[in-house]
Amino acid sequence: MSASESFRNRPAGNGPDRGEHLAGLILALARRDGMKAGDRLIEQKLADALDVSRAPIRQGLKALEAAGFARGEPNRGFVLTRSPGTDAARSAIAAVNRAEKSYAAVAADLLARRLPTDVTEAELMRRYALSRTELQRLLDRIAVEGWIARLPGYGWRFSETVLSPEAQTQVAAFRAVIEPAAILQPGYQLASDVIDRLRQRQERILAGELEKMTIGEVYQFGCEFHEEIARGAGNPFFVESLRRVNSIRRLFAYRSFADRNGMRRHIAEHLRLLDVLETGRYAEAAALMTRHLQRPLSIGAA
């Protein structure tokens, strides 16, 4: 068998090791649900939560055990051995897979004008050393986010407008319309358990987790917060359009840095917003949201 032979038919997966990828997802889930060391990791529950079958979950659990975060015993399944909120856990989660890396690379290259607006698949495959399928997945994802589109013939075209320098301002303007309007929709309501959950998470961050979080995580939580608020309108199109612009914002976030003080004020505003929403004063909440969105916080943290 030649050296190159060993690369033939290499496993598909979404990265160097599908198991590790899933380990990260499981850990992230455990973290989000506030699980502690000693809690059981039930395969079917995880599978349902992550929308996969038990097979890949199992691989993830094995990888998690190998990394020292879980322990498995025969016929008893796996148990979390460490709190998923530690530094080590975070670095394990942060072990991004190939797909994510290529995504970031394309975004960076595009923003730095190192890519032409029109590209062919073969060109991209070479440039980022991706298989056809990997590239297809990547392009599909980008297409859904709206900053690339298939040309009728061969090739793809990047959206010029969506990634222009003005895009950030335009996203802000768009959000300033959408988000308050969502709150003002007739029938708007946010279930009290949702409010509680959001409040807890914000408080946990304010209490100390902020320092331990990566910029990506802070950004992620911010987006989820705002999307959850918008969801109260009971109209998926508001949430959808918000997600869409958030995915664009994330592109710019790759190059932004953290402003911890601004974030504190920002999170305080989130909590205030929750208070007002809880009492059903929606007009006031919408006004608050409008003001909140006007603050010129550094990009990665709304």
Partner DNA sequence: GATTGTTCTTTTAGGCAACAATATACAATC
Partner DNA sequence: GATTGTATATTGTTGCCTAAAAGAACAATC
Residue-by-residue DSSP string for 234-254: S-HHHHHHHHHHHHHHHHHHT
Interaction of residue 299 with its own copies, rule CB under 8 A = no
Query: What is the separation, in whole angstroms, between the first and last Cα of the chain?
Result: 53
Which positions touch DNA (CB under 7 A)?
A: 4, 7-14, 18, 40-45, 47, 51-56, 58-59, 72-78, 120-123, 131-134, 137, 151-155
Q: Does 29 bind its own copies (CB under 8 A)?
A: no
Q: Which does 144 bind (CB under 5 to 8 A by kind): DNA, its own copies, none?
A: its own copies
Of residues 118-147, those binding its own copies (CB under 8 A): 136, 140, 143-144, 146
Torsion over CA: 164, 102, 256, 22 (sign): positive
Q: Using CB under 8 A, count the residues that bind its own copies.
A: 37
151 binding its own copies? (CB under 8 A): yes
Binding partner of residue 257 among DNA, its own copies, none, CB under 5 to 8 Å per kind?
none
Considering the rule CB under 8 A, would residue 52 count as an interface residue with its own copies? yes
For residue 284, give both structure tokens.
Answer: 């006031």
Per CB under 8 A, the list member of 17, 29, 39, 50 interacting with its own copies is: 50
3-state secondary structure of 176: helix
Question: Using CA atoms, how far apart are residues 131 and 235, in angstroms rounded to an integer?
Answer: 38
* Residues belonging to the chain: 302
Q: How far is the CB of 141 from its own copies (least distance, A)?
A: 9
Cα Rg of the chain, angstroms: 21
Please report whether residue 178 would count as binding its own copies according to CB under 8 A: yes
Residue 191 sits at φ, ψ, to 5 deg, of -55, 145
Cβ 14 to its own copies shortest distance, Å: 8
Alpha carbons 299 and 302: distance in angstroms, whole number: 7
The least CB distance from residue 177 to DNA, in Å, is: 36
Which partner in DNA, its own copies, none is near 131 (CB below 5 to 8 A by kind)? DNA
**Does residue 95 touch its own copies according to CB under 8 A?**
no
Single residue of 83, 120, 170, 298 touching its own copies by CB under 8 A: 170
Q: Which amino acid is at 218?
A: V
Maximal CA-CA distance, the chain: 71
Helix H or strand E encompassing 73: strand 70-73
Are residues 190 and 276 in contact, defined by beta-carbon separation less than 8 angstroms? no
Rounded distance, CA 188 to CA 270, Å?
Answer: 18
Q: Cβ closer to its own copies: 107 or 167?
A: 167
Pick the closer one to DNA by CB: 20 or 179. Answer: 20
From the list DNA, its own copies, none, partner contacted by residue 128 (C-beta under 5 to 8 A by kind): none
Nearest to 148 by CA among 135, 134, 166: 135
Residues that bind its own copies (CB under 8 A): 50-53, 56, 136, 140, 143-144, 146, 149-153, 157, 159, 161-162, 167, 170-171, 173-174, 177-178, 181, 185, 235-238, 240-241, 244-245, 248
